[in-house]
C-alpha cells in the first residue's frame, strides 16, 4: 500500500438528509415536520423525491460506493405515531432498489432533525414518549427496508437538534429553554437506545449513531496541539467538551454521564427526567460510531463572558475566532484536528469502529460556461483525507469516509445560499452539474487513495505565465498601481479570473507608511434603496474627512471585486476599512481582518467574529413589536420575513419567535421574495389566504409592511380593526401611510456616527468593542 493509499475495502461515500434534498413536502401523504413551519425558505429543495433516479445515476457515474441518506419520519408516519403512510415507504423502497441496482450500498439514518410536527405539538423531544414513538418508527422502517439495508444510524447530531433547537432556538422548533435542551438531549439518547433494541429485534445487522464531535482547543492550541494550558483555560476546555462531546459519547459508549456534567444538568434541568435503567438502555452495544467533523471549537477562559444560550453553563468562556483559513461560513479549516479527534476516540473508546459520516465545506462557487472550478473544496477534502490517513496509520479503526454532501441543498436556516455539494444545483431549473471536486473525488475513489502531489493553487508565477508578463507586473496590477497600461491590466485580470487566483503575501506591496486613506466598502443596496447606506456615506465621510482622512469608495458586488478589495488592503493602500457586510454570507470580513489593517463592520456579521461592529438590537426590536401585538389581544400573528440572507432579518425573525414562544403562540411565517412593497404585498396575500383567522402581521421591514397594508385592503380586511400591522425601520413613508404605520425605529444616524467613532478609535490604536444600539417601538394607528 502506497503512502497515499487507503486500506483495502475502505468505503467511499456521500451523505445527505431528507429535508435538505427531498422537497415534495406535501406529496405522497407526507405530514409536516418541525422544519416545514420553521424554515422561511420554500422547501422544494433539490426535488430528490421526484429525481432520485437521476441522482443515483450521478452517484454511479462518480464511482460512489455507499450512500448515507436519511428517512423522513413525517413521510413514513405523518403524525409521528399511529397510522403508517405506505406511499412514504414506497419512495424509500424505490430509492434503495435504485441504489442496489447501481452497485451502491445504502446506509440509512432514521432521524436527521425533522421531527413530525404532531409530536412537537404534543411536547416534542422534552417529552419522554417521543423516544418510544421513535422506536416504533424504527421498527416500521426496518420491516420494509431491512432486507436490503444492512447499516442503520439511529440519530444524527443530537447536540444540534437539542441545544440549537430547544436551547438557543436558532434551529427548529425554535424553543429557548435550557431545561428543554437537556431533557431533549437525554430523550434523544434514550431514543437511540430504544431504537437499537428495536432494530436488533427486527434483525438489523449493523447499528450505530452519528455524532458531531468537535475537538475543543484554545487559540494557541490551534497551531500547537501540545501547548500546555493554564488552570483556567483547562477548566473552560473541559466544560465545553463535556457539553458538546462527552454528553453523548459517554452515555452511548460507557453507560454513564460525565461526572463533571451531572451538576450542570441538575442545575439547569434537574435530574427527574433521567430514570433508573435509562443509561443501560442508552448504552446498547453499537457496531460503529459515525463521526461528523467540520471544525474545532476554539475557547478560552474569560471571567466576564455571559453564557452562550447554545452552551448552557458556559459563563466565563469566550468562543473565539482564530487567524486561520475559513470556509464561507467562517468555520476555521484545521484538518489536523481530525487526526487528533480520531486518535482520541480510538484511545478512549478502543472497541468502537469509526466511520467519517460527514466532512465537507461551504465555499462561494461560481458557475461558468466551462464548469464550476471549486479548487478550495478540493483542497479542503484533500487535506482532511491526508489527516484521516495519518490517523489510520497511527492505528485509528476507521472504516470509511463520506463527503457532506452530494448536492447543493437547503441548508436549514441558511436556506439556499450555502454550497456544500460536490454537484451544483440550479434551484430554478433543478439542473445538476458536477463540480471539479466531484470529478476529483471520483478519481480518489478509483485509485482508493490520494494523488501523489497536492492540488496546487495558482501562484503569482502561474498568472504571469498565463498573461505573458513579468511577476512584478502581476504584483503591480493586483495591488492597484496606476503605472500599468489599461491593456496590460486587462490581460492580467483576465488571467486572474481564469485561474481563480487569490493574491497572497507574495503579491502584496510592502507599504508600511500611513496613507491617510480609509476604504469605505459598500454592498449593493437592495431594490427600493437603503437609507442606512446613504447615512453611512454621509456621516462617516463627514467625520473622517474632518479628521484629515481621504475616502476611497469600493463596491463589493462580485467575487472579482472581493479579490480586488483584499489586494488593495493587503497592499496597505488604506489605513482602515469600513465594511457593510454583503447581503449573502461570505468571508470578506474575515479575509480583511487577517491583513492586520483596522476594520469595522456595519451590521453584525453572519459568523461570530472578533472584528468589532455597530448594529441595532434587531431581535429586541422585533420582540417589542410582537409583545405589543400580544398585549393588544392579538393571537394569530403572522410574519412576512423578508430576504433571509440578511442577518438583520434573521435576528428579527428570532426575536419574533422568542416573543411568541413566551406568549405560548406558534409562528406563522411567509417569506418575501425581496424587500420591496410588491414582494411584501404578495407575501401578505399568501399569509392572509392561508390563515383566514389571522389578526396581526409583523413585517420585517417597512417596505414589506406598506405592501401588507395594500394586501389587507384588497382582501377586505380593516386595519387595525380586524388586522393589525407592524413594520420595522421607521422610514419616512411609515408615518404617511393610511393608517400611519406602527413600526420599530432604527437609529440610522446614530449607527453611522458610532461606526465612524469606532474606526477612529481603532486607527488611534485604542481598544474597540462592538456597539449595539437599542431600537424603539413607535406606536401609530395601524395597531
CA–CA gap between residue 24 and residue 88 (Å, rounded): 11
Please state the φ and ψ torsions of residue 743, each to the nearest 5 degrees: -155, 175
Instruction: Give residues with Cβ within 8 angstroms of 436, minimum separation 6.
Output: 371, 372, 373, 374, 375, 378
CA–CA gap between residue 626 and residue 725 (Å, rounded): 10
Characterise 632 by phi-psi region: left (phi > 0), alpha (psi -120 to 50), beta (else).
alpha
Single out the residue of 460, 459, 405, 466 nearest to residue 437, CA to CA: 405
Strand partners, 301: 317
Please state the φ and ψ torsions of residue 557, each to the nearest 5 degrees: -125, -5
Q: Rounded to an integer, what is the distance from CA 37 to the centroid of its chain? A: 18
Q: Are 739 and 781 in contact (CB under 8 A)?
A: yes
Strands of 171-301, DSSP E: 206-212, 216-217, 288-292, 297-301
Name the H helices within 259-372: 262-269, 278-282, 336-348
* β 743-745/776-778 pair status: antiparallel
Write a three-state SS string for 194-244: HHHHHHHHHCCCEEEEEEECCCEECHHHHHCCCCCCCHHHHHHHHHHHHHH
Alpha-carbon distances, residue 421 vs 285, 371, 403, 412, 537 (angstroms): 33, 14, 9, 14, 38
Query: In this structure, what DSSP letter does residue 5 have?
Result: B
CA–CA gap between residue 241 and residue 234 (Å, rounded): 11
Q: Is 665 helix (H, G, I), strand (E, B) or coil?
A: coil
Strand partners, 577: 519, 599
Q: Dig out the grid coordinates for 254 from the structure.
A: 460507557
CA–CA gap between residue 563 and residue 474 (Å, rounded): 14
Candidates 22, 98, 120, 157; catalytic one = 157
- Of the CA atoms within 13 Å of residue 766, those in its CB half-sphere come to 8
Alpha-carbon distances, residue 83 vs 27, 120, 136, 158, 738 (angstroms): 17, 17, 11, 26, 50
Candidates 22, 98, 120, 358; catalytic one = 358
Residue with cell 497592499: 571
Q: What's the burial of 394, exposed, middle or buried (CB within 10 Å: 0-12/13-18/19+)?
A: exposed
**Residue 509 CB neighbours (<10 A):** 17
* Active site annotation includes 358: yes
* Active site annotation includes 157: yes
Q: Dig out the grid coordinates for 737 from the structure.
A: 401611510
Residues catalogued as catalytic? 157, 358
Amino acid at each position: 500500500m502506497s503512502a497515499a493509499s487507503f486500506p483495502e475495502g475502505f468505503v467511499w461515500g456521500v451523505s445527505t438528509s431528507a429535508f435538505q434534498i427531498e422537497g415534495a413536502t406535501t406529496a405522497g401523504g407526507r405530514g409536516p415536520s418541525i422544519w416545514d413551519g420553521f424554515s422561511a425558505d420554500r422547501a422544494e429543495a433539490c426535488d430528490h423525491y421526484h429525481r432520485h433516479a437521476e441522482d443515483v445515476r450521478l452517484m454511479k457515474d462518480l464511482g460512489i460506493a455507499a450512500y448515507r441518506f436519511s428517512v423522513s419520519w413525517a413521510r413514513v408516519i405523518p403524525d409521528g405515531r399511529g397510522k403508517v403512510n405506505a406511499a412514504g415507504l414506497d419512495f424509500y423502497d424505490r430509492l434503495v432498489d435504485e441504489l442496489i441496482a447501481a452497485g451502491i450500498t445504502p446506509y440509512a439514518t432514521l432521524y436527521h432533525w425533522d421531527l413530525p410536527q404532531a409530536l412537537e405539538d404534543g411536547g416534542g423531544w422534552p417529552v419522554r414518549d417521543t423516544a418510544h414513538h421513535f422506536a416504533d418508527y424504527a421498527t416500521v422502517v426496518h420491516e420494509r427496508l431491512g432486507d436490503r439495508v444492512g447499516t442503520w444510524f439511529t440519530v444524527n447530531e443530537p447536540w444540534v437538534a437539542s441545544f440549537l433547537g430547544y436551547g438557543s432556538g436558532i434551529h427548529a422548533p425554535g424553543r429557548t429553554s435550557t431545561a428543554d435542551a437537556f431533557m431533549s438531549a437525554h430523550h434523544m439518547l434514550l431514543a437511540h437506545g430504544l431504537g437499537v433494541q428495536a432494530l436488533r429485534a427486527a434483525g438489523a445487522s449493523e447499528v450505530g449513531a452519528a455524532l458531531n464531535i468537535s475537538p475543543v482547543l484554545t487559540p494557541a492550541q490551534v497551531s500547537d496541539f501540545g501547548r500546555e494550558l493554564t488552570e483556567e483555560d483547562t477548566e473552560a476546555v473541559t466544560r465545553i467538551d463535556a457539553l458538546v462531546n462527552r454528553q453523548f459519547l459517554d452515555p452511548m459508549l460507557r453507560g454513564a454521564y460525565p461526572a463533571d456534567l451531572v451538576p450542570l444538568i441538575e442545575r439547569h434541568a434537574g435530574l427527574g427526567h433521567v430514570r433508573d435503567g435509562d443509561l443501560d438502555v442508552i448504552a446498547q452495544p453499537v457496531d460503529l460510531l459515525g463521526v461528523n467533523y467540520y471544525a474545532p471549537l476554539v475557547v478560552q477562559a474569560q471571567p466576564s463572558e455571559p453564557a452562550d444560550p447554545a452552551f448552557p453553563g458556559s459563563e466565563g468562556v469566550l468562543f473565539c475566532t482564530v487567524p486561520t483559513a475559513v470556509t464561507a461560513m467562517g468555520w476555521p479549516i484545521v484538518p489536523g484536528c481530525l487526526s487528533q479527534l480520531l486518535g482520541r476516540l480510538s484511545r478512549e473508546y478502543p472497541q468502537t469502529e469509526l466511520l467519517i459520516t460527514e466532512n465537507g465545506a461551504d465555499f462561494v462557487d461560481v458557475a461558468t460556461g466551462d464548469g464550476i472550478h471549486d479548487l478550495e473544496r478540493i483542497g479542503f477534502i484533500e487535506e482532511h483525507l491526508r489527516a484521516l490517513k495519518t490517523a489510520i496509520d497511527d492505528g485509528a479503526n476507521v472504516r470509511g469516509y463520506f463527503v457532506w454532501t452530494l448536492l447543493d441543498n437547503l441548508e436549514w436556516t441558511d436556506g439556499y445560499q450555502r454550497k456544500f455539494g460536490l454537484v451544483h444545483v440550479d434551484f430554478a431549473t433543478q439542473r445538476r452539474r458536477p463540480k471539479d471536486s466531484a470529478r476529483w473525488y471520483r478519481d480518489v475513489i478509483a485509485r482508493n487513495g490520494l494523488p501523489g502531489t497536492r492540488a496546487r493553487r495558482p501562484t503569482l508565477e502561474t498568472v504571469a505565465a498565463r498573461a505573458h508578463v513579468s511577476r512584478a507586473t502581476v504584483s503591480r496590477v493586483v495591488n492597484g498601481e496606476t503605472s500599468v497600461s489599461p491593456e496590460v491590466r486587462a490581460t492580467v485580470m483576465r488571467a486572474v479570473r481564469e485561474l481563480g487566483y487569490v493574491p497572497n503575501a507574495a503579491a502584496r506591496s510592502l507599504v508600511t507608511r500611513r496613507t491617510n486613506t480609509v476604504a469605505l466598502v459598500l454592498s449593493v443596496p437592495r431594490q427600493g434603496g437603503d437609507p442606512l447606506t446613504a447615512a453611512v456615506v454621509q456621516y462617516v465621510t463627514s467625520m473622517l474627512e474632518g479628521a484629515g482622512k481621504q475616502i476611497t469608495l469600493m463596491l463589493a458586488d462580485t467575487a472579482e471585486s472581493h479579490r480586488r478589495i483584499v489586494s488593495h488592503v493587503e497592499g496597505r493602500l488604506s489605513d482602515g476599512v469600513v465594511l457593510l457586510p454583503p447581503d449573502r454570507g461570505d468571508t470578506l470580513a474575515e479575509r480583511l481582518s487577517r491583513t492586520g489593517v483596522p476594520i469595522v463592520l456595519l451590521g453584525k456579521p453572519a459568523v461570530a467574529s472578533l472584528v468589532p461592529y455597530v448594529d441595532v438590537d434587531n431581535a429586541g426590536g422585533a420582540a417589542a413589536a410582537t409583545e405589543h401585538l400580544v398585549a393588544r389581544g392579538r393571537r394569530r400573528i403572522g410574519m412576512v420575513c423578508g430576504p433571509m440572507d440578511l442577518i438583520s432579518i434573521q435576528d428579527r425573525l428570532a426575536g419574533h419567535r422568542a416573543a411568541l414562544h413566551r406568549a405560548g403562540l406558534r409562528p406563522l411565517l411567509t417569506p418575501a421574495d425581496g424587500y420591496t412593497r410588491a414582494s411584501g404585498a404578495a407575501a401578505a396575500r399568501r399569509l392572509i389566504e392561508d390563515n383566514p383567522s389571522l389578526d396581526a402581521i409583523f413585517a420585517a421591514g417597512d417596505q414589506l409592511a406598506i405592501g401588507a397594508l395594500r394586501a389587507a385592503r384588497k382582501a377586505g380586511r380593516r386595519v387595525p380593526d380586524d388586522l393589525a400591522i407592524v413594520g420595522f425601520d421607521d422610514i419616512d413613508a411609515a408615518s404617511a401611510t393610511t393608517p400611519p404605520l406602527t413600526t420599530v425605529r432604527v437609529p440610522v444616524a446614530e449607527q453611522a456616527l458610532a461606526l465612524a467613532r469606532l474606526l477612529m478609535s481603532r486607527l488611534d490604536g485604542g481598544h474597540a468593542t462592538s456597539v449595539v444600539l437599542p431600537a424603539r417601538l413607535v406606536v401609530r394607528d395601524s395597531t
